[in-house]
Amino acid sequence: MLYPSIDSLLLKIDSKYSLVSVAAKRAREMQIKDNCMIAKPVSHKSVGRALEEIYSGKLSYDHSSEVK
């Protein structure tokens, strides 16, 4: 089973597209800097760790920063 679940992540970020964008950007950042904000992540991969950060509330998405 996927941890954290998609349903629980969609409670934090409202759309799947935004969720994927935020997680991918953070995963790329973690690959370069290796600075995970979670003490003991479950996942060994950077995308999984990014999703865990979103689930824990340490990483979020602000709609007001969108380009219009």
Best CA proximity match to 53, nearest among 9, 1, 7: 9
SS3 string, 38-52, reads: CCCCCCCCHHHHHHH
**What's the mean per-residue pLDDT of the chain?**
88
Q: Which of 1-10, 14-23, 56-65 has the lowest mean pLDDT?
A: 56-65
pTM of the model: 0.84
What local confidence, expressed as pLDDT, does residue 25 receive?
Answer: 94
pLDDT tens for 38-66 read 989 899 899 999 999 999 999 888 777 65
Across 3-8, average pLDDT:
90
pLDDT of residue 50: 94
